[in-house]
Structure 1
Amino acid sequence: MIEAYEEAKRNYFLGGHRLSAVEGGRFCEAAYRILENMTGGRHTPIGSMLDSEKVTKGLESLRAADFPKAVRIYLPRALRVVYDIRNSRDVAHLADGIDPNLQDATLVTAVLDWVMAEFVRLSRRVDADTAQRLVTDLVTRRYPVVQMFGERPKVLRADLRASDTVLVLLYHQGGTPTTLAELTGWVADSMRSNLRRTVRTLDDKALVHLEGNEVLITRAGEHLVESRKLLDFDGC
């Protein structure tokens, strides 16, 4: 399931929307089997045809006193949406009219994020604080142009100027505030001396929001990153 999840996300961010939805289908086949095993102690053998409708109905019939609603209702229904997209939409067939692959892949990756986070939440094999950090990490946006080295993100495009590098890093961070000190440690040495001025300029242009020593990317900044394809990286 984790392998399919990583491939689905990677393909999505690289523009392989059809492949992203295909990996979503593989993800669902694994997730359904996990639910089968969680609730019945056994699962449809790998390599055998999975009857998703039968599994879904079986989960819905479980007693509320024995299993949470997420296991009985929410997870199987969410998985069914992704599974049906893989089987019935342009992912598997020739398109007629408007190409649905981008919108489908966007939905698929969002559902996969939620399902992964829900499995972590339900596992109860870690304490609440650790589970919350894992969930937050799962739903944080990851892009091939940014590689993590421990806790430090590094932008892999040396052709980007300082302002674009900052925007990519903040886009990667999503809604997590980033301090100027953190940014200083993440950018190249040549960008550090004027980093505060770079951030202030971006703030003046409403591309980021600077408050004290913390900075967040704005919707305008996100749009610029996406429209200028700053996340593209041919080295992946």
Structure 2
Amino acid sequence: MKIHAGSLFGEIPQSLRDELLGEYQQIVTNYYEGGWGASELSAGRFCEVAYTIIRGRADGSYPLKGAKPHPFDQKCRALETETRLERGLRLLAARILPALYEIRNNRDSGHVGAEVNSNQMDSSFALSASSWILGELIRVFHNTTTELAEEAVRQISEIRTPAIWTNGSVRRVLKDGLKLEEEILLLVASSGGCSISNLADWSGNANRSYILKILKKLHDNRLVEAADLDNIHSTPKAAAVVRELIER
């Protein structure tokens, strides 16, 4: 089921909704492009907007733009006492936000002498935590099931990169030298979800049987989920492959 983003947050001002979705899409794109620091910065701004929305839910009115509360962790703890809020926002989102915000503020982008660079690990957490928070906001404001909220998040998760050009319903891979299989994977991952007909149009290849063969291979390798050819999407395993294709 295709859910239009404009219907997800009916009572929230459009400017505030656009801020939230814009920062989330930046987290997704920067993660897939390997921009760990940029992904974490977007996560910090995402937290500020998400807090503003939850605070507005508790107060019964919303500002037009997100604002940074100070001190952030104490303001989030105060949300836990707001019994007017749904439990998911009050007891889960309000506790996840400070941890996500900490990634931006107090985790260095490089750790001298450390055997493992935490940047990718931090960015993976930022992506997962922000996706959960966005899904919970959609579930509450759209008054829908967790499954439909997760589907809406997946549809919103478009990768915005110079390697992919999109204009409404049209999507094209602009990077030269890629095999059709690689183009298909990029198109699926960047779309947040599509159909086999979309892939035929976007790739300019009308051979549906050949595209189906490619999808089966990607599906068998757990890079895409293609059991439903009208609802194809990439898996977390595809992230590293997509980053390599973009950076190549």
1:178 aligns with 2:195: yes
Instruction: Say whether the 8 Å CA contact 1:59–1:72 is kept in structure 2.
Output: yes
- Give the Cα–Cα distance (whole angstroms) in 2 for the partners of residues 177 and 141 of structure 1: 11
In the alignment, which of 88, 98, 104 is matched to residue 122 of structure 2?
104
1:120-167 deviations in Å (ceiling 9; x for gaps): 22224xx759x75644423x4524233333234322224323222123
Q: Structure 1: how far apart are the matches of 2:41 and 2:239?
A: 27
Report Cα offsets for 1:168-226 as digits up to 9, x if no partner: 2234456x5732x33221113xx43x552354266468457877967957879837834
Name segments (4+ residues, structure 1) moved above 6 Å.
Answer: 42-48, 208-215, 217-221
* 2:214 counterpart of 1:196: no
2:73 alignment partner, one of 35, 42, 53: 53
Consecutive unaligned residues of structure 1, counting only runs of 5 or more, are none
Q: 1:224 to 1:197 in 2, by over 3 A?
A: farther
Asked whether 1:230 is paired with 2:248, we answer no
Of the three residues 75, 78, 87, the one matched with 2:93 is 75
Provide the rounded CA distance (Å) in 1 between the counterparts of 2:96 and 2:186: 31
Kindly state the Cα deviation for residue 75 of structure 1 after the two structures are TM-superposed: 1.0
d(CA) in 2 for partners of 1:186 and 1:209? 18
CA RMSD of aligned residues (A): 3.9
Say if 1:220 and 1:200 are closer, same or farther in 2 by CA, change over 3 A.
farther
The one-letter amino acid of 2:136's match is: E
Aligned to 1:14: 33
**Letter in structure 2 aligned against 1:185:** D
**Partners of 2:236 and 2:103 in 1: CA distance:** 31
Point out the structure with max Rg over C-alpha.
1
Map residues 156-171 of structure 1 onto 2, 5 A cutoff: 156-171=174-189
CA–CA distance in 2 between the matches of 1:211 and 1:224?
Answer: 22
**Counterparts in 2 of 1:15 and 1:6: CA distance versus 1, 3 Å:** same
User: Partner of 1:90 in structure 2?
Assistant: 108
Taking only the aligned residue pairs, the percentage that are identical comes to 21
**Is 2:54 the partner of 1:35?**
yes
Give the conservation status (yes or no) of the 8 Å contact 1:36–1:55: no
- What runs of 5+ residues in structure 2 fail to find an aligned partner? 1-18
For structure 1, which segment, 142-151 or 10-19, has the greater mean C-alpha deviation from structure 2 after superposition? 142-151
Contact 2:185 2:242 in 1 (8 A): no
**How does the TM-score come out when normalised to structure 2?**
0.69
C-alpha separation in 2, matches of 1:220 and 1:122: 25
Contact 1:167 1:217 in 2 (8 A): no
Aligned residue-pair number: 220
Alpha-carbon distance between aligned partners in 2 of 1:37 and 1:166, rounded to the nearest angstrom: 41
Letter in 2 for 1:73: L
